[in-house]
Amino acid sequence: MERLSRVGGTVVKTRLEPIEGAWNSFIVEFPSYPRQRRGDLDALQKIVFLCDASEKSAPELCFAFFGPQILLHPVPGGEASERTEGARLIFVYAAEIPADFKASLELFQDRYNAPVLVAQRTNVQKSAQHVLEFLQGAAIPGRPAPAPHAAAGPEALGATLETAPAPLPTDVALWEGELPQVVLEHGGEHGEVVVATVEIQDYRAEYACRYVLQNYKENINRDRMAHMVSLSPGYFSNLFRVETGMSFSDYLIQIRIDNAKRLLRRFDLSVEEVSKECGFNSLAHFSRTFKDRCGVPPLKFRKTPNHESPNHESPNHESPNHESPSHDPHGQKEMGQAG
């Protein structure tokens, strides 16, 4: 049997087949999120995290799913206690669905009096993001605080976590078509190449990518982009990095640099005009950033035919230089200038 629940605008398919086996149980507290009123006290928001006992690194899973700024407390035997009281929900990570699962879910619902969200390997990161958004709902502009957790029941999850997708601006032009590969040389922790993921799951991160590709010459920054997708700046930064594999700042700058390299091949534009066309607020800033990313100043890049810069794109994949005339109202649309 399957149950469909809507969480943060996403339909989550929860399979309720039975499952056997013991569970690792933890209380996860979120000190950096809005506090929860319980009686006369303002308490930390918390959830119960469950995973199969065969998972060898359960604490590491919690930090990977919910970030480093959490407090983690083991729950011996999974027994209810004063520490588990007030949990907003039960997050069950089941890499595989064994037998007797429904009985286990009902047991934990009765024990902790909270709705259950089941995540599997294929959707766990996205499910964890919905939980974080649910917990910080009161801090998201234009979004009401989440309702108190409901008593356990078949509809408890849907009733408690029902939140509509954050509205996105519709009066702006966005890049159309497949997202290009954005390559950042020496962008990794150890100087390795970082390639932005093009298969993005979260609609807000994808919106940000498409907005940057189309509007890179505009005055764009993290705070403005976060406001456009109705997220706090910090949450947006973490979300974008998780979804794409690089920071929003690195993504924006690399799109600008890739387009600058294309425009520098046009000798009808001065270097200063190229810098303005690519969204840099000064020639000095452009020159410094270009040299940092490409290894040579813009003028030397222009004067060197077929210069192999560190971010040189191979001809076998789409890049910000790729032309898509089928979408170009003027017949000559190029990536980063697409509508």
Per-residue pLDDT tens for 100-137? 677 777 778 888 888 888 887 777 878 888 888 888 77
pLDDT at 162: 35
pLDDT at 278: 96
CB of 225 closer than 8 Å to CB of 208: yes
The helix, strand and coil proportions of the chain, stated in percent and rounded to the nearest 5, come to: 35, 15, 50
Taken in order of first residue, the domains within the chain and their CATH numbers are: 2-161 (no CATH), 183-327 (1.10.10.60)
In terms of Cβ atoms closer than 10 Å to its own Cβ (0-12, 13-18, 19+), residue 139 is: middle
Per-residue pLDDT tens for 178-207? 899 999 887 666 667 889 988 887 888 899
